Amino acid sequence: MGRALIELVPIGNVDAEVLDFLALVLPETLPVSCHIRNHPVELEAAYHPLRQQYHSTELLAQLIRGHRNPAAKVLGVTDVDLFIPILTFVFGEAQLGGTAAVLSIYRLDQRFYGLPEDRRLFFERCEKEALHELGHTFGLVHCSDFECVMHFSNSIEHVDLKSNAFCASCGRIVREAIARLASAPKAS
């Protein structure tokens, strides 16, 4: 049995350091291999001129349409501000139990809040939200444990309060889902 794979897909002008960082740290928490894969995603198709934001569901749909490897999950990473119609913004969106998720790093940077840049904190937030969105693709819903990375975050303060780890219950579910993913037939 091989290792499950996470494919990181840059959308827009994402800082390459963010992608390299995620490719390095995600396998430390999840028993997966992680690769950066360039795949065309039409960012402008998701733009909403009145909100001046990008509809995350449209980006997610493009990632799903471009998915070819049944033994992999796809995480699109973008530097634009994302929304879904019922919320002001989202840090990301995922297909529950599905193959793809999208993460926005736009509101994870201290400079968005008028504060001095803090690269350590920024990368820490990127890791947490990447794990959170990938957790949804492995079938996890939001967790009531406020330290679990699957705890719901609708503000940057909530992101900072939670850890970069799954609680025991969520961790067990993720490990089982990754084992099933690793045994899936590989794309030819």
The angle at the Cα of 38, spanning 34 to 42, to the nearest 5 degrees, equals 130
> Is 35 in contact with 8 (CB distance < 8 Å)?
yes
Q: What is the DSSP code string of the chain?
A: ---EEEEEEEESS--HHHHHHHHHHHHHHSSEEEEE------GGGGEETTTTEEEHHHHHHHHHHT---TTEEEEEEESS-EE-TTSS-BSEEE-TTSSEEEEE-GGGSGGGGT----HHHHHHHHHHHHHHHHHHHTT----S-TTSTTS--SSHHHHHHS-SS--HHHHHHHHHHHHHHHTSPPP-
Taking the alpha carbons at both ends of the chain, their separation in whole angstroms is: 16
Active site residue 117: no
Selected catalytic residue, list 93, 127, 129, 133:
133
Task: Indicate which residues carry an active-site annotation.
Answer: 133
